[in-house]
């Protein structure tokens, strides 16, 4: 009678060990399968992240070397025809110094609605950023700075500019 009970207990232990082994195998296989499949969604997230982060506007003091200025028409954020030189200079500067970034600073005048003017200055800086990216500058090497208002007595074109500066940022 004792042998039948021992045999039943032995079968029960082996069944329990088999179930545990199957669960562990399923868990390990599932995790392995998930890690093999994970790079595709992660790649999409990595592509989406720079676009979202690119619209971050820094509120930092003006610093760095001015590489170029892009002047815009009144009330417009479309790039002017004479943009090749400042963009080319910016590309050369950021390529020559791998430790620095380009900071784009949009300016606007005090006339009219300040919020509308600041948004226009920001959109001008974004237009310059897109042109730089199209010329080969990595998006993570370009930062936008908070738009700044110019003095009322300065030249009118200075209130419609985007400055491109070479800066040391973390």
Q: For 11-70, write each residue's pLDDT tens digit.
A: 888 888 888 888 877 877 777 767 665 544 444 434 444 444 447 788 787 788 999 999
Q: Region 64-85: what's the mean pLDDT?
A: 93
Residues 17 and 85 in one domain: no
Residues 106 and 144 in one domain: yes
pLDDT tens digits for range 125-144 = 999 999 999 999 999 999 99
Q: Tell me if 133 is assigned to some domain.
A: yes
pLDDT tens digits for range 91-103 = 999 999 989 999 9
Range of the domain at 147: 50-167
| Neighbouring-strand partners of residue 70 | 162
Residues 90 and 142 in one domain: yes
- Which of 167, 148, 166, 146 minimizes the C-alpha distance to 158? 148
> Do residues 120 and 167 lie in contact, with contact meaning Cβ atoms separated by under 8 Å?
no
Q: Tell me if 44 is assigned to some domain.
A: no
Name the more confident of 152 and 130: 130
Other CB atoms within 10 A of residue 132 CB: 22
Q: Region 155-163: what's the mean pLDDT?
A: 90
- Residue 163 three-state SS: strand
Does pLDDT of 1 surpass 80? Answer: no
* Structure confidence at residue 3 (pLDDT): 64
Residues 31 and 57 in one domain: no
* Structure confidence at residue 103 (pLDDT): 94
Q: Tell me if 85 is assigned to some domain.
A: yes
Residues 136 and 65 in one domain: yes
* Structure confidence at residue 8 (pLDDT): 76
Does pLDDT of 109 surpass 90? Answer: no
* Structure confidence at residue 139 (pLDDT): 92
Rounded CA-CA distance 70/115 in Å is 21
> Do residues 104 and 142 lie in contact, with contact meaning Cβ atoms separated by under 8 Å?
yes
Phi first, then psi: what are they for 164, rounded to 5°? -110, 115
* Structure confidence at residue 2 (pLDDT): 56
Q: Tell me if 45 is assigned to some domain.
A: no
């Amino acid at each position: 009678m004792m042998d039948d009970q021992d045999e039943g207990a032995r079968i029960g232990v082996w069944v329990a060990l088999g179930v545990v082994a199957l669960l562990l195998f399923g868990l390990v296989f599932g995790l392995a399968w998930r890690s093999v499949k994970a790079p595709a969604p992660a790649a999409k997230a990595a592509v989406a992240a720079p676009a979202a982060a690119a619209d971050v506007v820094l509120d930092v003091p003006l610093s760095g070397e001015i590489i170029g200025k892009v002047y815009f028409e009144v009330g417009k954020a479309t790039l002017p025809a004479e943009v090749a030189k400042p963009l080319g200079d910016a590309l050369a500067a950021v390529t020559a110094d791998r430790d620095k970034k380009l900071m784009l600073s949009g300016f606007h005048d005090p006339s009219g609605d300040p919020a509308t003017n600041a948004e226009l200055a920001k959109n001008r800086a974004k237009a310059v950023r897109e042109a730089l990216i199209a010329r080969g500058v990595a998006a993570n090497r370009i930062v936008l700075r908070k738009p700044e208002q110019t003095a009322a007595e300065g030249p009118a074109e200075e209130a419609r500019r985007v400055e491109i500066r070479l800066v040391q940022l973390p």
